[in-house]
């Protein structure tokens, strides 16, 4: 916060004309950091890059129309011949199935609990109403 009688300092610029911001990690402690150093565009680009089968090394040697078939055939061959590849594939499938089932089981459990709670409330409220009659 700038005192009322003092004008704010202009934002300094670092190497390459990048703005340098001033922050505080601990009260009274200040340091200078560059926004570009923290959120570099290359880091964001790498993070957002989604791997697909088309990025498989060596696949570009095949005609474009055959690439998926070659990829699948090689995948099936590795499943039958490479035990480490097969184990990793099984772990992946098991994880996907578990992650898909957990929410379903959670919703079913929530519905069952809601029905049980409603039955309990109906019974208790009915007991009170019948005792008043």
pLDDT tens for 35-76 read 555 555 555 555 667 888 888 999 999 999 999 999 999 999
Q: Does residue 101 belong to any structural domain of this protein?
A: no
Residue 76 lies in a domain: no
Question: Is 114 domain-assigned?
Answer: no
Separation CA 10–CA 109 (nearest Å) = 59
Angstrom distance (rounded) from CA 95 to CA 98: 5
Position 5 in a domain? yes
Kindly state whether residue 82 falls inside one of the protein's structural domains. no
Structure tokens at 76: 């099936």
Phi first, then psi: give them for residue 43, nearest 5 degrees: -65, -45
Domain that holds residue 22: 1-49
Q: Is residue 115 part of a domain?
A: no
Residue 24: which H helix or E strand, with range?
strand 20-26
Q: How many domains are contained in the chain?
A: 1
Give residue-wise pLDDT tens across range 17-39.
555 555 444 444 444 545 555 55
Is the whole model's pTM more than 0.85, yes or no?
Answer: no
Within-domain flag for 13 = yes
């Amino acid at each position: 916060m700038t005192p009322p009688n003092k004008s704010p300092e202009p934002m300094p610029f670092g190497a390459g004309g990048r703005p340098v911001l001033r922050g505080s990690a601990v009260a009274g402690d200040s340091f200078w950091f560059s926004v570009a150093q923290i959120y570099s565009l290359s880091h964001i680009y790498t993070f957002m890059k989604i791997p697909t089968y088309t990025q498989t090394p060596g696949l570009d040697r095949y005609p474009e129309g055959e690439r998926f078939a070659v990829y699948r055939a090689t995948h099936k061959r590795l499943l039958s011949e490479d035990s480490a590849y097969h184990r990793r594939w099984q772990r992946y499938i098991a994880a996907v199935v578990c992650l898909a089932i957990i929410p379903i089981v959670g919703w079913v459990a929530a519905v069952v609990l809601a029905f049980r709670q409603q039955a309990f409330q109906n019974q208790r409220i009915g007991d009170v109403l019948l005792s008043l009659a």
